Amino acid sequence: MEVMMDKRKSELRRETRETKVDITLNLDGNGKAEISTGVGFLDHMLTLLARHASFDLKLTCKGDLNVEDHHTVEDCGIVLGSAVLEAVGERRGIKRFASSYVPMDEALARVVIDLSGRPCSVVNMDLKRDSVGDLACENIPHFIKSFAIASKTTIHADVIRGDNDHHKAEAVFKALALALKDAVRIVGTEIPSTKGVI
């Protein structure tokens, strides 16, 4: 993976036999998104994540969708997580901890994150369908896990209530976006850890 950095920006490419993913990310953007993964519902989720996190995000993926959507979803999570990791750098001055509740009609989601340097994800969405659009429901929490590992972030995501799987997924991605926006916010000059390093 090649990385180029400028302040709180990153530009990466990840290429495997299964996918080719290119991304540019600006943590201090205006929520502009250009997303093309070949998986329509994933495009929708990443577009609203960028919008509500106020990230400028351009992400394209050419994946082996003739196999299924798993590799595309996983590698997009890895690349987005890697881009966030590079853009926050040593994490000096960031807020680090954040949480958000988001309603989407009858669904209510809570996401709590720590940009801790320790990757962990606990995701409870209670999805009932096999897929939402062209995105397999099992790959929605897998995206969050892949993102958490690559960004070295602890993420707890829970759907507290809801009936519609589209609404549940959208509420989780919006809550993740708002939590990320708050957690990467610059609030000081020190590394937010008693260890002096994250």
Segment 43-78, tens digit of pLDDT: 999 999 999 999 999 999 999 999 999 999 999 999
Categorize the per-residue pLDDT at 189 as very low, low, confident or very high, splitting at 50, 70 and 90. confident
Q: Which of 77-81, 88-92, 94-98, 106-110 has the lowest mean pLDDT?
A: 88-92
Q: What is the pLDDT of residue 5?
A: 45
Give domain status of residue 48, yes or no.
yes
Give domain status of residue 110, yes or no.
yes
Give domain status of residue 125, yes or no.
yes
User: Looking at residue 153, what DSSP letter applies?
Assistant: -
User: Looking at residue 103, what DSSP letter applies?
Assistant: E
* Cα separation, 72 vs 78, whole angstroms: 10
- For residue 2, CA distances in Å to 10, 11, 17, 86, 187 come to 10, 8, 16, 11, 30
Q: What is the pLDDT of residue 193?
A: 76
Q: What is the pLDDT of residue 3?
A: 47
As a whole number, mean pLDDT of residues 148-158 equals 98
* Total domains present in the chain: 1
Output the CA torsion sign for 83, 86, 91, 92.
Answer: negative
pTM of the model: 0.94
Give domain status of residue 196, yes or no.
no
Between helix 70-88 and helix 40-53 the angle, nearest 10°, is: 20
Residue 135 burial (C-beta neighbours within 10 Å; 0-12, 13-18, 19+): buried
Give domain status of residue 118, yes or no.
yes
As a whole number, mean pLDDT of residues 19-43 equals 98
Domain containing 85 — which CATH number? 3.30.230.40
Give domain status of residue 44, yes or no.
yes
Range of the domain at 98: 2-183
Give domain status of residue 98, yes or no.
yes
Q: For residue 112, what are the β-bridge partners?
A: 99, 156
Give domain status of residue 38, yes or no.
yes
